[in-house]
Every structure is written in C-alpha cells, then in structure tokens.
Structure 1
C-alpha cells in the first residue's frame, strides 16, 4: 500500500454482550480470539461530500400543542446550547404538524408593520429566569400528556398564532440555524387534494416579516390512514407538492426557497410504492428527498439492541433501498434523513436519553455520510419523548455533547475507508474517516479525523504505520461516568475523564483533546467512542 493510504491496525479481545428486556439482564460475555482489524483509508481524494449542515436537528411540533411552551425557545440557556450546533437546519415538524392550523390574532395589522421587530428580536425575545423555571416544570407534565396521546393514536387539533412563528424564527435566526417549517398536509378539499388556504395565510405572514425559511408539506404520509382516516397515494401527494412549489414560485421571497419531502417512513411495501409515485410526479418540485429512519421500537427494545452491530447495519439496508428508488426516478437528487433517532414511538425509556444511545447516533452519522446521505436531522433537540438532545430541564444529554464534538471536528469531505479481517465475529469496532473541519478548528491543512465506536468490553489498541506514527494527534474520548451497565445508562458523559456540564447558562465548557505523542499506539476503551484528529496526516484530499 502506498504512502497516501492510511493503514491502521487494531488488536483487541472481542466480547459479546447478551441482554434481555425490557432493558438489561446480567452481564454474560462470550470471548472471541484476538483479532487484528485493518482499516485502509484513501487520503488522495474525498469520494463524497456532505452538506456542511449534515448534522441537523428538529424541534417537534408538539411543542406548540400549547403555545405558551414555545416561549421555552426564548431561553438563553437553550439558545447557548443550540448555537453550538450551527451551521445546521432546524426542522419544525413531526406528527403534530398535520394537526396544526395557523390562526393569527392580528394578521392584517402585522402585514402593515412588517419590519417592526427584526432589528432587536434576539434581545427582545429572551425568557426571564422565573418564567423559564415555571414553564420547565409545566412542560414535564405536558410531555407526559403528549406521550399518552401518541400511544392512543388520537390527535387533537392545534391552533397557533403569529407569536409562535415569531418565537420559532427568532430562535433559529439567533442561533445560526436555517429553519424548515412543516406545513399541514391533512387539510384536504372535497376532491382529496391539499387545501392550501391556511398555508397561504402563513406564507403571507412570514413574507411580510421577511422570514427567510424553507418548507415541508406533511409528515409520514404513509400513516395518514392510521392517524386521520385519510388515504393519499403517491400521485396525489406529488400533485400537492407541485401545488406548493407553484405557490412558492409566485412569492418574491420564497420563489427559490427550499422545499423538502415527502418525509415517508423507511421503505416497506406500500411506503416504497408511495415514494415511487411521488417522485414520478414531484421530483422536480423538491430540493431533496426526505425519509425517516429509526432502528427499533422504543416500547420493546433493550440495551443489547443499542450495542448490536447487526441492528446498526440495518441502516445500510434501508438507505440503499431509498437511494436506488430516488436514483431511478431522479438521478443526482439529494437524499436526506429528514427525521431520525434511535427508537420510534418517542424513544426508549431509560435508553434513548443515556450514554448508550451514542453508539447508534455516532454510527448513523458515520455510516449515513459514507452511504451518500446529504443531511441527517436528529429527532429532537427539544420536545416530547426520550430521544431529545436537551432534557426537560434544558440540560444537555450525552448525545448533545457527542453532536457538538462531531460538529467541531468532522468536516464534510468523506474519505473512503475499508475494514479488513480474516475472522468473522460480529464486528464490535466501527470506524469512519473525514477531513477535519477547517472552519471550526485551527488544525493544519491536510488533517483528518478518525472517529470510532467500541461496542466491546475490552480496550482496542490502534497501531499506526510509520508515516502516521510520527504524526501527533489530538484524542477526544467519550466514556460513561462509571463502569458497567449502570454507567451505560447514565445521563452524563466524560470527555477524557472529565464529566461534561455547562459552566453557566450562557457558557459551554472547553472541549479539549488530549495531546497524543508520536509513536505511541492509540487506545479506545471498551464501551466508548472517540474522535482522533491526525494533525499531520497531510491528506491531499483535505
């Protein structure tokens, strides 16, 4: 192999963790023989480049079920946390979006005063501490009620005003995120086509305020029959999007704005037929094709699932199906994971908001970019359920810190990596490689970032070849705050041995790497994940 490839040798003892539901059973490990795993990375060229907003986030539309909770978006603490995830898209959508209607208090007055608040919006819309504390306490109960509604599958209609829109746009604008607003597609005419009247009123209001944003129409149309007794086929869904694109094209502000869809669930039987029919009619109307992915059902999953390589590999199967479908109908159309997390049904209680969830999240980021997805939108930044990045007290959870490190260290250029092994146990170490992010770091040009997750119990030692062994590195190792299963189920995380937490409500801690001396093998502890910035890789692709 030439000097422009990276040859990384891993030697580790692999163990198989066996669990039973609902979450954990006592540790039972089956020992494998020592295995040497070789990773070859092509440093000459990037084989794929993702959107610079690849890691993006969502706010669940359930937040507006009672409009007062939208004021949580004016929290200085939440704004501080969200700003660290910029650049990125902010999707406002989900199941509740198809039960929302815009009902402004003073629509015509706002049209006459279109620029009144734009100048000082970030300062004006800031939540006082006492009100924030009161809303946080009330939100805990509200989240339980929303979860009950989700389980029953009966959704009440919600009306929102211009104040909710102002708060949402202010939040996105003040944190450097690009807003995507999900419109209600279940407003139908007698002919079962989309009724755009309410959306038109919302668009007019947003344009009067000069709110620069993108749009979606509907959420998981494959489930309309189950949710609302409405059947929409691919042809009609496509016509609805063509209708929306026509409306946008007539707007001075939105004629070139993004339109994304159809936000169908992962392909299976009629869902794939729905996607095919949609693309045949509306591929030109959308900027990217969106679909949703979750690994497991949050109501009957286990810790074992979160650590199972076979479960992680299901993402590749579903992604290939979607990419093939889109390529057949519209070659070169970009594909997004428009909504995704660990477990559907609001997440897995005691798992989706813990350290263990990071294995699914980091692998999805690595594998998704490698497969060719352009954007991955995490469900959710804040909202009901247990798969959020920020909890009901607005404190960051382990996946939040993982996301911030990914944002800072991983660039959009994806390098081709292949893992070779003579043995075939279930692979417990997974690695990906990108150019290091040039915009948010001061590392030398040509630096690369290796990131890996170790699903096994034992430490993996990573030996680099001579031409990389002489290079220094920065290591960012994330571990549970304590060993054993209880550590994996913790809602905290350690970076290089230090538990991460905010300094105060407006300040994040320094996320420092550990200097790694040249010539010393890298080391990845069991049940951990890490980023290694190879500062002197001199990759021509980077």
Structure 2
C-alpha cells in the first residue's frame, strides 16, 4: 500500500491492468489491519491502541501491491484513495475492500473509521462492490499475540453489514469472510471457519473466503512446482472447504481471496519464472472443477509471486493470466485422457464470447513430462483449431522470466502488449516437454455453452 511508489498515470501500467479486465481486485491482506483512513491525512503514523503489534519487522503476504515495511498503523489519505479509485475505474476493475479489524470499541469492532471512508466514498460515487473485515483471523494469536474469536468476528460482520446498509451505493455490496489461512495449517483454520458459520455468519456474508499457498518460499524447490503430490494437495483443501460449507444451514459459494505458489513473498527464480505457470494454471482448472466462484491471485505487483515486477514488467504468469481471461468463460467440463496420466493434466471450458462464438470450446493442458506428447483429439480430428502454446522464453528454461507464445517471445513494445494471436492447426497437437497451453475448438456449438450464454444474455 505504498501508493506513492507507483505511477497510476503510467500508460504502461494502465495497459497492463486493463488487459486483465474485467476482474475483481482485492485491496487487503495483512496491511489492511493497520490502515487508518484520513481524508486530509498525508503521513503514516503510529496508533497507541495496540502497541504490542509494532516494531516486529514481520514481512507478511499482503494484497494488491506487496511492499514490505514495519507493521505499524499508517494513513490512507483521501488524495491517494481518489487516485487509486480513478485508476481502478479507468482500467475496468471491480474493488474488494478489506477493512481494518484492529479498531475496537470494547470487545467488538469499532466501525467509525470505516464509516468515515464510506461517507467520503459515497459522496464521490466510488463503487465498492465487495467488502471484507480483517485478514487471516485464525492466525492473529500466532502473528500478533491477540485473539478475535470466530463468534466475535461473526458479530463484527453484522456490524459491518448494518453499516453498509445505510448507503444506497453500498447496500447491495457483498460481504466475504472470514479469510482464513490454508485449511491444513496448524492455526485452527478448519475449526475457525466452522465456528464462524455456526455463529450465524451464513446469514450475514455472501460467500466463504479462504487463502491458499502450496509451499513456503524459504524452502520451496524447483521439483515441487511440478510435483504431483503438491499439485494434488489443492484438491483436499477445496474438498474440505466444500464439506464445511455444505454442512452449513445456508450453503454459500467459496472464494480463494488470496492465493499463489509460495507464501512469504514467493520464491525468487521460481514463483517469478515460467515454472510457476504449472501451479497457477492447474489451480485455475481445479478451482473451476470444484465450483470455486472467484480466485484472487497474490499479487498484481511486487514480491516474487507478482504478475509484474517492481518495474511493471510482466512475468510469465501475467501472460498466462491474460490468455486465461481472454479465452475462458462459463461452465467447466470433465476431461478423460486415455490412457489415464496424471502428468498430463487437461481441463475444458466454454470459450469467451468476445473473441469466439457462443458454443466454442477451450481445452487447456499441462504436460509435466520431460518428453513431447501428442494430444490426439478424436472428436475434433477434422476441426480447425486455434493453438496458444506457451513455452519458456530463453535458455534459462523452466526458470526463465520470459515466455513464448507459439514460438514468439512475448515482450512489451513501449507501453503496448504484444499480440497474443493463435496458430491455426488441424489434427493431433504436439506439445513440448514441460509446457502448458490452450487449444480452442471454434464452431463446435457445445450445447451447455450455448445455454450459458443465452442465460447471460437474458440476465443482461
């Protein structure tokens, strides 16, 4: 949240952001619990309300921009709030805003600073479709030596819901929580989420929000990024979440509101390399199969797991994300490979309508073998296919910070993205060892996709 170090007027920055639209962006994370909104403020400051939180020098995972600094209360001024929201509106993003939970009145959350921000924002017509409160509350004792029980947090969310109901601009905005950590970590996330729902939160929030990281940045290795056990570990996490949610009196959608390869800022030369795309693309495919309604990538800019580096240059995962957004929309389909092979992971979706026609199909794959594979698609053997094959960009191989599309190196031209054009093809598709990509089947008229877009047209 160090706003001043980013140039929101930069055409390069705007173009890179707009290429991902429409998306939801979360402004939150660890730093959200230290943010004080002051319409006329300029400088960060310490608040003596919770001195035990200061000066610990932690570097945590935060949202949107990931810049480490001492965890102390700081000011978000009206000026920088305006700049940020002007940028968000210009590039076509939708904001999820995470309020500071470390403001209390007795045992409960004090909404006065949130009310100040909402008053300011409402007067200026700033749209905020989604809200959260706090970040990873099940880990507060471990990280900050304080506790907010799931029962208290459920009551705090009721306070937030009551607050936003007063504003015509926000009374239909959705609340998501409780933003617990991985469901397999030793900080009680499973019990916390369960108790949060049992405390009646299912009547307050619009969806369950979780975080997920596969690995620890300090210990992650190259082999782990293509390890089947690591890849498949997400399945158990998602199934756990669905089991908890379906046992609730009101089953709610599940969101991954903070997720990447490695917690702790990402692993240098791994999370920022071509290699990271295996975990990222597989996560998108599995999340779709398990019905996860939204996946928020940690983070847009900064750290080793950012989509952009500090100079706003794209890492390979940026281009992978842009292609996913451009090509895919709607229902996911089960794909069976013969013979069954977990080292060839294949997913299928409807194609997005702004590039292709309703009913077209997208198949995407991860080949984690060190040999070429022929993808024989007997259903489409006479079809004209569009190939988007992604391979490492230079001699660094899997550790390359560059990526090629159909053999062409993807580089910005001044402030403009390179063309991301497909390669026309017919017949079996030969994919490179240790690579991933997308295959579009135009003019296929998948009935479920046709129905999906027909319903979307009727709603809109």
TM-score (norm 1): 0.76
Q: How does 1:276-295 map to 2 (within 5 A)?
A: 276-280=194-198, 281-295=200-214
Q: CA deviation at 1:157?
A: 1.6
Matched, 1:464 2:377: yes
Aligned residues: 426
State the match for 1:474 in structure 2.
Answer: 386
Work out the CA distance in 2 between the residues paired with 1:493 and 1:388. Answer: 15
Find the partner of 2:399 among 489, 492, 508. 489
Work out the CA distance in 2 between the residues paired with 1:267 and 1:231. Answer: 18
Structure 1 residue runs of 4 or more that deviate by more than 4 Å after TM superposition:
151-154
Work out the CA distance in 2 between the residues paired with 1:73 and 1:160. Answer: 16
TM-superposition CA deviations, 1:223-275 (whole Å, max 9, x none): 11233222111111100001100111111211111211111112246211111
State the match for 2:364 in structure 1.
Answer: 451
SS of 1:382's partner is coil
Work out the CA distance in 2 between the residues paired with 1:437 and 1:147. Answer: 47
SS of 2:447's partner is coil
Work out the CA distance in 1 between the residues paired with 2:210 and 2:19. Answer: 26
Moved more, 306-315 or 261-270: 261-270
State the match for 1:104 in structure 2.
Answer: 39
- Relative contact order, CA 8 A, sep 6+: which one is greater? 1
State the match for 2:437 in structure 1.
Answer: 530
Matched, 1:166 2:82: yes
State the match for 1:354 in structure 2.
Answer: 273
Q: CA deviation at 1:153?
A: 10
State the match for 2:457 in structure 1.
Answer: none
Q: How does 1:264-343 map to 2 (within 5 A)?
A: 264-268=180-184, 270-280=188-198, 281-343=200-262
TM-score (norm 2): 0.89
Q: CA deviation at 1:482?
A: 3.3
TM-superposition CA deviations, 1:454-478 (whole Å, max 9, x none): 111101101122x410111000000
How well do the aligned residues superpose, as a CA RMSD in angstroms?
2.0
Q: How does 1:116-515 map to 2 (within 5 A)?
A: 149-150=58-59, 155-190=71-106, 192-213=107-128, 214-268=130-184, 270-280=188-198, 281-383=200-302, 385-419=303-337, 421=339, 427-438=342-353, 440-441=354-355, 443-465=356-378, 467-482=379-394, 486-505=396-415, 507-515=416-424
Work out the CA distance in 2 between the residues paired with 1:403 and 1:165. Answer: 27
* 2:57–2:70 Cα contact (<8 Å) kept: no
* 1:147–1:346 Cα contact (<8 Å) kept: no
* 1:154–1:227 Cα contact (<8 Å) kept: no
SS of 2:7's partner is helix
Q: CA deviation at 1:289?
A: 1.0
Structure 1 unaligned regions, length at least 5: 1-62, 108-145
Work out the CA distance in 2 between the residues paired with 1:362 and 1:73. Answer: 28
* 1:234–1:275 Cα contact (<8 Å) kept: yes
Q: CA deviation at 1:331?
A: 3.9
* Structure with larger Rg: 1
Structure 2 unaligned regions, length at least 5: 43-54, 61-67, 450-460
